[in-house]
Each structure stands twice: as C-alpha cells, then as structure tokens.
Structure 1
Amino acid sequence: MKFYITILLVSVLSFNSLAQTKLDSSVKTDKPKLVVGVVVDQMRYDYLTRFWNKYGNDGFKRLISEGFNFKNNHFNYIPTYTAPGHASVFTGTTPQNHGIISNSWYNKFEQQYIYCVTDESVQPLGTIASAGKMSPNRMLTTTIADENRLFTQMRGKTIGIALKDRGAILPAGHTANAAYWFHGQEEGKWISSTFYMEEMPKWVQEFNISGAALSYMKPWDAIQDLESYLESGTDENLFEGGYKGKSTATFPYDLEALGKNNGNYDLLKVTPYGNSLTTDFAIAAIKGEELGKDDYTDFLTVSFSSTDYIGHNFGVNSKEIEDAYLRLDLDLARLLENLDAEVGKGNYTLFLTADHGGGDVPTYLTSVKIPSGYFDDVKFEEDLNKFIGEKYKKGGTIESVSNYQIFFNYRTLRELGIDRNAFEKDIAHFILQYPKVSNVFTRSQLESGSYVQGISGLIQNGFNQKRSGDVIFVLKPSVISYTTTTGSTHGSGFSYDTHAPLIFFGNGINQGSTARRSEIIDIAPTISVLLGIAFPNATTGVPLEVVLKKTN
C-alpha cells in the first residue's frame, strides 16, 4: 500500500511540476533591464514620412524597421499642450483624471493663475533661481514609472530628463530618483529640486562644469544641402519668426553672436543643439546612474524639447524644422548606440511618441487659399464683458478667461441673485455666435452628459470637474490664438494636433506596423503588461496586444 501511495504522490508532484513549468513558460521572465520613454515635443506623425528619404539608417529608420509602428496614433482629449501630453503618455489617462489640464491654468481655489509643476515647498538644486522650485505635486495620479518603483520596492530607478521642467518632471512621476531640466540664461546648467534629493550627484556636477552647453554656442547651418530640402517651404518667407539681431529667418545662424539678444544659453533651446545637449546628458545619466545594470527594471524618460521651440518660432513647413529632425535622427542613433553598448541589445525597451502635433502657420494657409485665421483673445474678453454688462447691468461675474475656458465668480453670482444655469446658457450662446468659434460646451453639459466621440468626446476627456472652467469653447480648424502671425502652435483637437507617432522597439516587442487607431493613453498599460506590473492608478487606456511578443 505504501508503495502505491508513494507512486501516486510522485505522479502528482511530477504533474504539478510539469504544469507549473508550462505556466512559468507563458509568463515573461526576461523583463527589460531598462525602459526608455522618448517624447519628441511637437512631433507630427508626418515628420516620419516627409523626411524619410533623408534620414539615416540608425535612428528613426532603425526604430521602425526593427520595432513596431502605429501609424494612426492620436491624442484623445483637448487641449493638446506639452504638460497634459507628457502626463497622459505616462499615466495612461487624460486630464479628466490626472488633473494636468494645461501648461498653466486658473486655479479657482487659490484664485490665481498657476504653472503645472511649481512647488514653493521645495528648493532649487544646481541654481539659486526659482526655476528650480518645481515638482510633480499638481499631478493627481501615478505614472508607469511610479508603478515600476512600487513593484520593485523602490529598487528600480527612475530618471527624467528634458530641457523643459514639465517634460522632465511629469513623466518621471512622484517617486522618481531624479528629474533634471535645463536652466539657460547666464548659467547653462542642468538643475533639479530638493523634491528628489538634497544634493546633485557627482556626475551631474561634472557634466555642468564640462562646458558641454558652451560647446553648442556655435553656428547652426543646414546639415545637408539646403537646396535639397524640397520637403519644406522656401528658406526666406513671411511666415517665420527668427531671432533678434538677425534681419531674416534664414540659414546660417551664428549662435554665439545672437546669444546676447536671445537669452544667452536659452537660445540653445530654440535650435537643434538643445536636443543634442539633451542626448549628451541622457547618455551621461545612463552611465552615471548605472541604469539597466541590475535585475530590477529601471526607467529613463527623455523629452526632446527643441523641436517644439523651433516649430513655434519657424513653423511646421520651415527648412529649420526639417533640419531639426535630420539632426534629431542622428541624436537618436547616438542614443541607441549607447544603449546597445551600456545596457545591451535586447536588454532594453524603448518607445517613442510625441506630446502633441502642430498646425501650419495660418498666414501660410491663407496664402494658399485654405481657411484659417487668428483669434483675438483681448477683443474677445472685452466683447464678453460688454455683453454681460448690457445683459445683467453688473460686472465682476467672470473670474478668468483662459485656455478657451470661462471661469465664473460664484460669490458674485449669488450676491447678485443671478441663476448660474441661466447665466451659463447666456454665455454659451454669446460665444457660439462669435466669429471663428465652432463649438461651445457648458459645465452642466459635461457633468450630466457622457460624450465619447468627436470634438465633444475630446472636450469631455480634457474636462476635470474640479479644475476646469464653466464654459469651454473650440475654435474653427486652423484658427489659433497667437501673439504673432509667424510660427506654428498647437492645442486643438484636430488631426494636425492629435496625430502623433508611436513606435515601440526592443525587448518583448514585435516587428511590424498597423494603421488601426491607437491612443496615447494606451502606452502606459502596454508597458505595464510587458513588465507584469500594475497599471498606473487612474489608467483608462488599453494594452496594445499586437505589439507584444507572445511568450509561449
């Protein structure tokens, strides 16, 4: 009897062992040692295709040929600005939940206009300037990097890097080991805040005294034959801003000579060299922080900000923007080469996307007979207040007009006995009749309705019940509010602002492409599945299964 019991027990144990082995084989155990999240500021999807023939083989082309390309990837909310974009990529949700409703917004509780990452409770590191008093304190949710830190019991590192503070801080999240951003002006240094640490690491101090920033204060000329830049408009035209101290926005640009009138080291941000400096610093961070060197997955977030500054200055159809992307292609190749050497091919996963797109300069569109124009914020606010004065015979009912949102003064409405719902309808009706406005939405509509498609769905996803205004309006296509008639901007829900690249590359990633729609909020849950960790805590996106290799 004991013999049979022993045989049965061995059989059961063997079966369980085989079953567990089969289960283990279907669970991914070879996680990447490092995840690199790259965001290119103001990158339209068609920059991939438009400049394709001029790219080398080791940057964008390598990512696409060896990785997976989502050709129909979009932002699913309004407004398409830098801060909401970076937050949405890494939290897997929209401003409705993560709370970063713009780069700056009117805070009705503090009754003041606030910047998305300011934090008076922290001190600057690497500078004495207030530019260092920043943190992710206003972001309400976790990022994918936060969830990786929690999963690894804080053993997996997170480092965030960008010229812009918000481009470094928001992706890295609340638990990051560090976020670094560039402080130009007279200093030209990478800085941080005491939110992350008490003193700068030695490798950062060494980088800042290396003269790297100074080395880029040199001439900027076309990296390829300027006459071959046929994918862009003429070099000299009426649609570009340029720099103070130079009469035309044409190549070449002597940065050393132009620096004095253009913010000194801040001028680097508005040239491709800002991206090159970012790449240099990211490579230094990989080595200095020993990223990808142990058994716990690390995160590196890198945002290339210069493309946005250049787009705002010169426009999306400029030769300057084309040259910026040809140079960024080389910087990406350098970054990939370093990752191969330091972390190892197949040991890291990288994704590349944007925080928003960008539209053509309206004056250019008008010149080729495409409907477009400019919206005068100042006149609009004057007309709105005039309407309220004539209708209600009282002022002080509006606290703020900003980001295409109207914030009511509820105390004044109560004191005057004005019904909020009636007031809301009157304001909405007035705005809808206004030239160059296409849609208007009220707080009552957004709180009681559930919009999921079209412009109304984008507004709903960008509407945060506590932080957003009481009436929100949308301008017509290719109509912008801008301080100048040169250069491009963004912020709308139209395809030129929502259509952004999305490429996955490296460990655990299939090779291929798709034209099926994906959304920016799908990135974070996809990386969560790859790593086998929890989704960011307010995720509304869904994993993109097609990109992930099967493990059985």
Structure 2
Amino acid sequence: MKQARCTFLAASLVVLLAGCAGMAPSASAPPPKLVVFMAVDGLPQRQVLAYRDQLAPDGFARFLDRGAWFADAHYAHSFTVTAAGHATMLTGAYPHRTGIIGNEWKDQATGADVYNTGDTSCQYIGNRTRPLDGTSPRNLKVETVGDVLRRVSPQSKVIGISGKDRGAILPAGKTGTAYMYMGETGQFASTTCYMPRHPAWVDAFNAAKPADRWFKQEWKPVLAEEAYARSLPDAQPWFGRKGAKLPMMMGAASDDKPGPAYYTGLLPSPFEDMLSLEFARAAIAGEQLGRDDAPDILSVSLSGHDYINHAYSAESRLSHDHFLHLDRMLQAFFRDLDATVGPDNYMVVLTADHGFMPAPEVSQQQGRDAGRIDFRRALANINQGLATQFGVPGLVMNYSSATLLLNKKLIAEKNLSLDAVADAARKLLLAEPGFDTAYTRAELLSGSRRGDRFFDAQRKAWHPDVSGEVQFSLKPYWMFASSSAATHGSPHPYDTNVPILVYGPKWVKPGRIDMRVEVADIAPTLAGLLHVPPPSTAEGKPLPLIRP
C-alpha cells in the first residue's frame, strides 16, 4: 500500500506539471478506490427521462436526484454502433483515432470480413471459439484510461464485463482483463489473450450454473398494465420477433433442459443483465476490487436493452419494462456496492454506446418521412451507373461500416482514377432513396468539405487504414431493411444523444447540467479523478463535475 501511495503522488505531480499543456487536472480529493463504469447498450437519453416518475428510489434516481447528469450529451461521430461507442468511452477518442469504425468491416484489399475484436491467435477459455468471435483488443489502436492507470500503478486492476465480447474487451483496453457471456453455455469466459486459465472465483461462479435458474421462468412486467400506457402495446406487426408480448417464457416449451437456444435467448431479456451484475459482484469479491490504495476500474456493459430495442423498438412496452427492470437491478447493485466497497470509496459513471431510432413504421404513422432501404438494390443501381460511366462492371465490392468499398485492384487494372470513381459513386449513392450525406476519401483526408452537413461527424467515423472510399449517412428515420424493428448508426440526435450520469458525493457536485458535452469527455474526466494523465489520443475535455 505504501508503494501504491508513492506511485500516485508521483502521478499527481505528472498531471500538475502537464496541466499547462492542456491535460485534465486532477481532483483535490484522493482518487476513488474503485471506479465503476457502466454502459447500458442502446439506451437513448430520451428513455431515461420518459419514465422518471416510475423509477425506484435508488437506481437511476440516484444519479438524477443526488448525482450529476448531463441532459445534452452526445457522440460526435456519425456511425453510432456498439463497438465504435465502446471504443470511445474510456479512450476519449473517436473511430478516426481508435480504428474501431464499426462492429465489423471488410478488408480493403480482399473484401474479407474483419470483426472489431477478432483475433484468431486467442481462444475462449473452456468454450468454443469461432473464427470471427471477439477475443482480444488487437484492433484497438489507442490506449484507455485503464491502460494509463496500470502503467502508472501496476497494482491497479481493470476488469471489463459484458454480455457482448466488444462490450467487455474495448473498455478493458490493452492491459485490462475482459470477461464476456457465452451464449452457448450460459457461462462467463475470458480468453487466452489475457490468461491461460480462469481464476478460482470464475470457475466457482460458472460451476454454480446461475444462468439455469430462469429456465421455464417468465419475464413479467414490473408494474401494472396501466403503467405502460405511454409506450406501444405488445405484438406489433413490425416487431422483429413476431407476436412478442409479456409475460414471456424463457426457453422453448419443447426443451427439457437448458441449452444453447435458451442461453442465447436470455440476451434479449432482463435476465442476462442480472447475470452480468452478479458476475460483477463476484469479480469485486474475487479480485478484492476497491480494497487498497491502488484504484481499480470495473467496467460493466449491460447488453440486453440493445437486443430488445432492435427486436421491438425503444418505443415498445417491452423496452419500457426492460428499462424499469434495469432500474431495479441498479438499485440492488448500488446498495451492494455501499455495503461491500463502502459509499465513500467508489464512484459510478453510466452512459450508453449509442441511442436508438424509432421504428420507421412508428415514424410514418406520425407523418415523418421514413422508410427501409434495400441496400442490395441500391448497390446494384450504383454499380450499374458506374458501369455505364466507366465501362467496367463491379467497381463497388460491398458495404463496409457505413462506407462503400471500391474494388481498387480492378480500378488500377483498368487504369481508372480512384478519385473519379469514388466521386461518381458518391453522386449515384445520393440519388438513391433514403441517403442523406456522403463524402469521399479525398474529401475526408483534405477536409475540403468542412462545414458541410455532418462532414465533421463522418470524418470522425472514418479511418484511412480500415474504412472504404465513400463514407455516408442515411436520412433521419430511415434504416436498411433487416429483421430488426429498429436500429441505430446515424449522426441524428436520437442516435447520438445518450445519458452521462455520475454519482460519487466525495468527488461530484450534484445537479443537472445542460451544456452540450461529448462521451469523449468521460476519459479525461476519469483520468483527472484518478490523478493520472488522460489517454494520449483523447479528444475530450474534463466534464464540469468535480467538486471545488
């Protein structure tokens, strides 16, 4: 402990000396012993406030009534998806620096699939690993707050937990440890990137088979039927899961025991989130987080809300009820933190990786211009137009994380100008229904369209090493046709506006803050509170929440 104190005195001096260079200032209070960083996957800010009168006293209300919360917090990149958001949260950098431009993308040269946390050199421990599973942070090009913390203080621990591999791996950074839910077995597992075998507390958690307890149990509403009058009724015809309604049974009627279908089926329900928080409690006890003078970081990303909003939309009763379940889960988790870590020893930051659009059918009913785009047809039209102009078919290979991937090899073989083909593809794409803006590699690199609609947001979403030649965004309330009821991935406020909620009376001045802030501001803020320098590529600035 004495060594940890000396390390942090030295780190504080580093931050003070660097303050004139624009680094995040350290807080006057000692750093929290444990930073609990939480993300609710797919939670738009509008939902946090829509049901405020139905919240429990100490879940989300702990932030809204006794913490600091930002009403106008946004992502500043255009392609707002899970991996890109999780990579931004604790690095303070957007995809143009992190290299995590989407959940998956295509290799520029071969067109092969690339998964954001894919790494075939690593395997899940005790579970099957498929070629595109997420197993390591290899593709993340920048450092996190946790990486800085562990460089300053090797005694500190950084642990990431999530129902999704990307939700655990990216916030954990290069030097943390990630554990993710296994849909085939109902276990939590890490990978050989982090360790050869699990510690005893993980084996004990999995051996107890906690995921099995909800087999043939029902997801029931938190409140009485009349409490859901402000959300859409169940069984809408455009639901991604036809006829879905509450109460909802976990496990098929024909199943006689839990299996992969049941374990995967827990993800779009409250139960996998409950399981993630149980695993977080086990991690706090097993790793003794927050028990010494070397601060630790525990990142917990709750994945269920995203699955539910994709299947039913954020306006559905199922989403409304899941949010209320989350609220009660948080209340129980916070009270356990008070009892085990101590109320003056930890702070909590909660945000989301992206928001959510309303289902196009709902928007159409409200008189908005909305719809679903058949991208295969649009791609065929673009290629046909390019073939007419340049005399060569197949110049666009595919879609890749909100970009068009051009066939550079073919373009070179035919002695065509890459910039000319990209510009023509951009114009043809914008002629298709539902597309809003598009910019070419040349424009994004030069900044020549600075000030144009969403240009800065699309520039932040684009990385020269991994993105395609034309970055685009869709019109408001439009989405690509899929089995989902609704989605996300745009620069529009319903996707960018997410909660930033902070609780920790020892460090945080409570109250609502209306100034516009960015999710990239979280990383330098936490660095200041932990008395370490911010990540070297962080773009944000400290949030105005530290007590004077």
Cα distance in structure 1, aligned partners of 2:204 and 2:479: 43
Separation of aligned partners in 2, 1:394 and 1:132? 36
Change (3 A) 1:473 1:290: same
Question: 1:233-272 maps to which residues of 2 (within 5 A)?
Answer: 233-242=232-241, 248-257=243-252, 263-272=261-270
Q: Distance in 1 between the 2:356 and 2:533 partners? A: 33
The residue aligned with 1:145 is 146
Q: Is the 8 A contact 2:162 2:179 kept in 1?
A: yes
Structure 1: where are the runs of 5+ without partners?
1-19
Once the two structures are superposed, residues 514-551 of structure 1 have per-residue CA deviations (whole angstroms, 9 ceiling, x without a partner) of 1110001000001111111011121011111x20112x
Give the aligned partner of residue 360 of structure 2: 362
Structure 1 contact 63–503 (Cα < 8 Å) conserved: yes
Shift of 1:61: 0.4
Q: Distance in 1 between matches of 2:260 and 2:372?
A: 26
> Distance in 2 between the 1:93 and 1:123 partners?
28
Please give the secondary structure, in 1, of the residue aligned with 2:539: coil
The CA deviation at 1:454 is: 4.7
CA distance in 1, matches of 2:227, 2:122: 50
Q: State whether structure 2 residue 163 is matched by structure 1 residue 163.
A: yes
Residue 488 (structure 1) aligns with:
486
For residues 331-350 of structure 1, the aligned pairs below 5 Å read 331-350=329-348
1:308-323 to structure 2, matched below 5 A, reads 308-323=306-321
C-alpha contact 1:42 1:311 (8 A) present in aligned 2? yes
Between the aligned partners of 2:389 and 2:253, the Cα distance in structure 1 is 52
Q: Deviations over 1:1-23 (max 9, x none)?
A: xxxxxxxxxxxxxxxxxxx9xx9
State the 1:111 CA deviation. 3.9
CA distance in 2, matches of 1:296, 1:286: 14
1:416-431 equivalence runs, <5 A: 416-431=414-429
Task: Render the CA deviation track for 1:237-277: whole Å, top value 9, x for unaligned.
Answer: 223233xxxx6211111113368598221000011111111
Residue equivalent to 2:23: none
C-alpha contact (below 8 Å) 1:259/1:265 kept by paired residues? no
Instruction: Quote how far apart the aligned CAs of 1:453 are.
Output: 7.4
Give the aligned residue type for 2:274.
S
Tell which deviates more after alignment, 386-395 or 250-259. Answer: 250-259
Query: 1:134 corresponds to which residue?
Result: 135
* 8 A contact 1:165–1:182 mirrored in 2: yes
CA distance, structure 1, for counterparts of residue 403 and residue 133 of structure 2 = 29
CA contact (8 A) 1:314 1:487 kept: yes
SS at 1:124's partner residue? coil
Superposed counterparts of 1:363-442, under 5 Å: 363-442=361-440
Could you tell me whether the CA contact under 8 Å between 2:401 and 2:467 is conserved in 1?
no
Q: 1:278-310 CA distances to partner (integer Å, 9 max, x unpaired)? A: 111111111111100011000000001000001
Q: Which amino acid aligns with 2:294?
A: Y
CA distance in 2, matches of 1:262, 1:156: 36
Cα displacement string for residues 107-159 of structure 1 (whole angstroms, at most 9, x for unaligned residues): 2145411110011111221313338761000000001111111111x110011
Unaligned 5+ residue runs, structure 2?
A: 1-12, 17-25
Give the corresponding residue for 2:3: none
Aligned partners of 1:157 and 1:299 also within 8 Å: yes
Give the Cα–Cα distance (whole angstroms) in 1 for the partners of residues 65 and 220 of structure 2.
29
Tell me if the contact between 1:123 and 1:133 (Cα under 8 Å) persists in the aligned partners.
no
Amino acid corresponding to residue 128 of structure 2 in structure 1: I
Q: Deviations over 1:323-373 (max 9, x none)?
A: 101110111111111111111011111100000000110012112322110
Map of 1:95-106 to 2, 5 A cutoff?
95-106=95-106
Q: Is the 8 A contact 1:521 1:541 kept in 2?
A: yes
Answer whether contact 1:317 1:360 (CA < 8 A) is retained. Answer: yes
Task: Write the distance in 1 (CA, Å) between the matches of 2:236 and 2:134.
Answer: 40
Paired-residue identity, %: 32
For residues 227 and 123 of structure 2, the distance between their equivalents in structure 1, rounded to whole angstroms, comes to 49
Distance 1:520 1:334, change over 3 A: same
Query: Which residue is 2:226 aligned to?
Result: 227
Matches of residues 537-552 of structure 1 in structure 2 within 5 Å?
A: 537-544=536-543, 546-550=544-548
| CA distance in structure 2 between the partners assigned to 1:269 and 1:427 by the alignment | 39
The total of aligned residue pairs comes to 518
CA displacement at 1:27 relative to structure 2: 6.5
SS in 2 for 1:256: coil
Say which one has the larger Rg.
Answer: 1
Task: Out of 463-472 and 490-499, give the one that drifted further.
Answer: 463-472
Change in CA separation of 1:444 and 1:87 when aligned onto 2, cut-off 3 Å:
same
Partner AA of 1:254 in structure 2: M
- Map 1:206-217 → 2, pairs under 5 A: 206-217=204-215
Letter of the 2:160 counterpart: G
Paired amino acid for 2:164? K
Matched, 1:291 2:286: no
Letter in 2 for 1:520: V
Does residue 181 in structure 1 map to residue 176 in structure 2? no
Q: Distance in 2 between matches of 1:274 and 1:250?
A: 18
Runs of 4+ off more than 6 Å = none
Distance 2:134 2:482 in 1: 28
Q: RMSD of aligned C-alpha atoms?
A: 1.9
CA-CA distance at 1:425 after TM superposition: 1.9
Q: CA deviation at 1:473?
A: 2.0
How far apart, CA to CA, are the structure 2 residues paired with 1:516 and 1:259? 54
SS in 1 for 2:237: coil
Moved more, 471-480 or 92-101: 471-480
Specify the alignment match of 2:52 in structure 1: 52
Q: Find the aligned partners of 2:158 and 2:509 in 1 and give their Cα distance.
A: 25
2:99 and 2:139 in contact (8 A); partners too: yes
Map of 2:22 onto structure 1: none
Cα distance in structure 2, aligned partners of 1:401 and 1:235: 33
Pairwise CA distance, 1:497: 0.2
Equivalent residue number for residue 15 of structure 1? none
Cα distance in structure 2, aligned partners of 1:431 and 1:27:
49
Q: Which moved more, 1:125-134 or 1:81-90?
A: 125-134
- Aligned residue for 1:114? 114
Matching residue within 420, 443, 446 for 2:444: 446
Deviations 1:377-423 (A, max 9, x none): 11011112211222222224333323331122222212211122222
CA contact (8 A) 2:59 2:330 kept: yes
1:529 matched residue in structure 2: 528
**Contact 1:398 / 1:407 at 8 angstroms: preserved in 2?**
yes
Three-state SS of the structure 2 residue aligned to 1:269 is coil
Distance across 1 between alignment mates of 2:62 and 2:238: 33
- Aligned partners of 2:186 and 2:209 also within 8 Å: no
Find the residue that maps to 2:421 and give its secondary structure. Answer: helix
**Secondary structure of the residue that 1:472 maps to in structure 2?**
strand
Deviates more, 1:535-544 or 1:230-239: 230-239
Deviation at 1:29, TM superposition (A): 5.2
Partner of 2:497: 499
Cα distance in 1 for residues equivalent to 2:235 and 2:330:
29
